[in-house]
Amino acid sequence: MKELITDIDSIGKRLDAWLSVHLAPELSRNRIQSLISEGQVSLDGKIVRETKHKLRDGVSITIEIPEPEDATPKGEDIPLDILYEDADLIVINKPAGLVVHPGNGNWTGTLVNALIYHCGDTLSGIGGVRRPGIVHRLDKETSGVMVVAKNDHAHRHLSAQFADHGRTNDLERAYLAVVWGTPDRKVGTIDAPLGRSHRDRTKQAIVHEEREDARHAVTHFEVQERFGAKEDATALASLVECRLETGRTHQIRVHMAHIGHPLVGDLEYGGAYKTKANKLDEPLQSIVKGFTRQALHAKLLAFEHPSTGEIVRFEAPAPDDMAKLLDAFRQNNIRDVHKLRNLP
């Protein structure tokens, strides 16, 4: 804990700016801003969370500095659905809700913690202490097939394949997505660069290709099923298979929303569709409202094995929650047909 008292020179100055001067070089301005936001700074005994708070003379400032956390993740006995494992790699079916690696707000309970417990010291160290063996990621709420490297040779080999995005190798990634509505064609390609959203830096957005942070992004899609299809070829929702030509953060979610068909359950990129469930018949309405993640599952991953050179393929069926969602849309289809035919 540190205690400071402001003087006449502090009058009108920002809290974070004043502290950064008086606590340098021990604490950076970013660190001070984080401490303020976390409620670790008090003025005259009252917690202040506003970094721009204007100071006055004679204020007693108390700063609580938490003990630094160990950056090295620890192994945790978290169950893994292992599809395949050998000396070079491990392939898992990641459940929705599991964060891939430690980071802000998720220092424990991640896939990395589970892998350290399961694999011990055999994971590749190239990814660093927080991302050992990680060569690609899935969003927290996206389920499906992932591969992790268990040694540095495998890590380099797999990373090169993912960096190439299958353009000159046999890397193949396919996802199942349940989207609102239906695309205007059965098969299509979305070619639109992605970058950070100016409105929310945690989100991605379609950006102009000449913007400095624009990243080339291409998604190929094919409509597998339409639910609640009408005579004008519109549909309530659709099951779409997406194949990635590039692998950008939130790529499928942003691209499908961009063409007007956001993923069911995706409140980040499809928030405007949240009330759409209110117009559904029961029990479909309750099931859709209860589906609180993006309806996205990595069903297929194929790549060249780093040691044998063999092309290996791994598939995982849609998890129970997504299977239940799909079944509800299919059952709703049957009921709609019965209504059209005036059947009981």
Least confident piece of the model among 96-100, 127-131, 233-237: 127-131
Sign, Cα dihedral of 278, 283, 286, 290: negative
Residue-range definition of the domain harbouring residue 105: 69-164
Given 110, 139, 164, which residue is the final one in a domain? Answer: 164
Which CATH number fits the domain that encloses residue 338?
A: 3.30.2350.10
The answer on 320 and 181 residing in a single domain is: yes
Q: Which amino acid is at 130?
A: R
Residue 340, pLDDT score? 45
The answer on 176 and 80 residing in a single domain is: no
Q: Residues 139, 164, 320, 321: which is the catalytic one? A: 139
Residue 126, pLDDT score? 67
Total domains in the chain come to 3
The answer on 156 and 36 residing in a single domain is: no
Instruction: Say if residues 228 and 180 touch (Cβ distance below 8 Å).
Output: no
Given 135, 164, 193, which residue is the final one in a domain? Answer: 164
- Cis omega (within 30 of 0) on the bond before 25? yes
Residue 199, pLDDT score? 83
Mean pLDDT of 24-35: 87
Instruction: Say if residues 253 and 295 touch (Cβ distance below 8 Å).
Output: no
Active site residue 266: no
The answer on 338 and 251 residing in a single domain is: yes
Residue 121, pLDDT score? 76
Q: What six digits make up the tokens of 333?
A: 């289809």
The answer on 240 and 309 residing in a single domain is: yes
Look at 311 and 271; give whichever has higher pLDDT. Answer: 311
The answer on 34 and 99 residing in a single domain is: no
Instruction: Say if residues 135 and 303 touch (Cβ distance below 8 Å).
Output: no
**Helix spans in the chain (H):** 15-22, 29-37, 111-119, 152-164, 251-258, 284-290, 320-340
Cα-based distances in Å from 267 to 100, 186, 193, 275, 325: 21, 25, 21, 11, 16
Instruction: Say if residues 194 and 219 touch (Cβ distance below 8 Å).
Output: no
Instruction: Say if residues 310 and 157 touch (Cβ distance below 8 Å).
Output: no
Residue 313, pLDDT score? 98
Q: pLDDT tens across 31-64, in order?
A: 899 899 889 999 999 999 999 999 999 999 999 9
| Residue 166 pLDDT grade (very low, low, confident, very high; cuts 50, 70, 90) | low
| d(C-alpha 300, C-alpha 125), whole Å | 26
Residue 90, pLDDT score? 96
Task: Give the mean pLDDT of the chain.
Answer: 90
Beta strands at 2-5 and 187-191: parallel, antiparallel or unpaired: unpaired
The answer on 93 and 180 residing in a single domain is: no
The answer on 173 and 151 residing in a single domain is: no
- The answer on pLDDT for 172 being more than 90 is yes
Given 63, 93, 109, which residue is the final one in a domain? Answer: 63
Mean pLDDT of 232-247: 87
